[in-house]
Structure 1
Amino acid sequence: MIANYERLTNPTRVFDHENTAVAQFVDGAGCYAEPNIAQAIERLHDAVRDTIDYNVFNVSLGTELSASEVVREGAGFCLHKSILFVAGCRRLGVPAVLCSDVVVNHVADAAMLTLVGGDAFLHWYAQIYLNGRWIKAAPIFNTLLCALSGIDVLRFNPHADAIEQRNSATTKMLFSGDQRTHSNPDMHDLLTLIRNKHPRMVTSAGRTPTSLSLAGISL
């Protein structure tokens, strides 16, 4: 599927897992205390999901975005969280890549729908090589956020893909099947991809808009 596994553990400018901030995040997640790599990755998954706040408004989205910046800012949406998760997996020696696809049936309020321009979202997640197989993981929506939204928490599965977040008892994210794999992404290219799908999200300030600015309110 994806060849040359060794290079998929290397640090890159975006997946800068040699940075002290990323190293401390992985250590602080308790990954090294686990008896096997699957449990270590689960620890990392849950730490990214629950300690990095999910937010699409006024978060870093520029050419300097990297895993270490995600740690320092402590907030972001699926792109940010997936970048950090991929970097953390690579630091633990697990081959990992960033993936993107378009999804519908996404939990969103009116402000988010305005920001993205509809109900089809460019969604980001990770694909990792664990115990002899490629699996997909998406440590995106915080446990607290899921509780407030009335949706199930998406839990890590070391044996199968776990990316289809349920919105209710009968509905879940619907993926278009247009998956793209980014093994060594360049932020200029990722920003172009985002801008083409969601032009309001990419600004000259290098941050996503605030919800107030979308409503035409200035402070």
Structure 2
Amino acid sequence: MNFTAPTFYFDYESDEIKDFVKEFRSDTISKKEKAKRLYLKVRDTYRYDPYSLSFSKEHYRASYLVTQKKGHCIDKSIILIAGLRSLGIPARLHLAKVKNHIGVERLVEKFGTNELTPHGMVDLLINDKWLKVSPAFNESLCAMCNVEPLDFDGENDSIFQEFNNEGMEFMEYLEDYGYFEDVPIDFMETNVREHYPHIFGEDRNIKEFRL
């Protein structure tokens, strides 16, 4: 598999992605440092929003997502992957099921549970080592939840905050769906419909939903 190639979704040859990563193109910056800086830019440029669901292929193109002000964890992962691939850093989408334990009232109200699936994160290859990172929770959101934002040192996984600043359980991973070379839109739609049937009912023509 080629984890540096552009695809329909990771369309990093677009002007939008080229502009987003232009500050990281210097040959004087190592790939490790580029990955660290790009991770932080994606993490904090877009406000995390799990309440907009879409199964429109166009809405999962990096060139579209990078122009938005907020995004789901998968949206932000796609932007990061496209940016990393454009810088020659192998990257791929990784999906899982997670459970949040803090600030979940609205989640439970809208989804009927505090379990979120599929949750998106990123696998990236630095110095011959695959690492997992999650750019989902922006710094301001973490402050609201009294949890430290996830940093990435370029050497270790950075995928979740297990506890908040008071030692309360914050997030846990329940199931690992593995990695994908491109965005598995059909798998994602099936997964959401199976876990949250009350949202869409039986109408498979509904491709977008705002909770």
Q: Same fold (TM over 0.5)?
A: yes
1:104 aligns with 99
State the Cα RMSD in Å: 2.2
Residue-by-residue CA offset, 1:116-166 (whole Å, 9 max, x unaligned): 320221111001111110000011111111112211110012111110224
- Contact 2:4 / 2:86 at 8 angstroms: preserved in 1? yes
| Cα displacement (A) at 1:101 | 1.0
* TM-score w.r.t. length of structure 2: 0.86
1:164 aligns with 160
Q: 1:124 to 1:107 in 2, by over 3 A?
A: farther
- Contact 1:14 / 1:187 at 8 angstroms: preserved in 2? no
| Cα displacement (A) at 1:60 | 5.0
For residue 88 of structure 1, what is the amino acid of its counterpart? G
For residue 63 of structure 1, what is the amino acid of its counterpart? K
Structure 2: state its 5+ residue gaps: none
1:45 aligns with 39
Distance 1:168 1:201 in 2: 33
Structure 1: state its 5+ residue gaps: 211-219
- Contact 1:98 / 1:126 at 8 angstroms: preserved in 2? yes
How many residues in Structure 1 have an aligned counterpart in Structure 2? 203
1:75-114 to 2 correspondences below 5 Å: 75-114=70-109
For residue 37 of structure 2, what is the amino acid of its counterpart? R
Q: 1:24 to 1:182 in 2, by over 3 A?
A: same
Q: Secondary structure at the match of 2:210?
A: coil
- Contact 1:116 / 1:201 at 8 angstroms: preserved in 2? no
Confirm or deny that 1:32 pairs with 2:36: no
Distance 2:174 2:52 in 1: 27
| Cα displacement (A) at 1:167 | 4.1
Specify which structure has the higher proportion of strand.
2
Distance 1:23 1:195 in 2: 35
Q: 1:106 to 1:198 in 2, by over 3 A?
A: farther
Q: Secondary structure at the match of 1:208?
A: strand
Distance 1:112 1:61 in 2: 20
Q: Secondary structure at the match of 2:179?
A: strand
Q: Secondary structure at the match of 1:124?
A: strand
| Cα displacement (A) at 1:204 | 5.1
Identity of aligned residues (%): 28
Q: 1:59 to 1:23 in 2, by over 3 A?
A: farther
* TM-score w.r.t. length of structure 1: 0.83
Residue-by-residue CA offset, 1:67-115 (whole Å, 9 max, x unaligned): 1111122211111001111111111111111011111234443222233
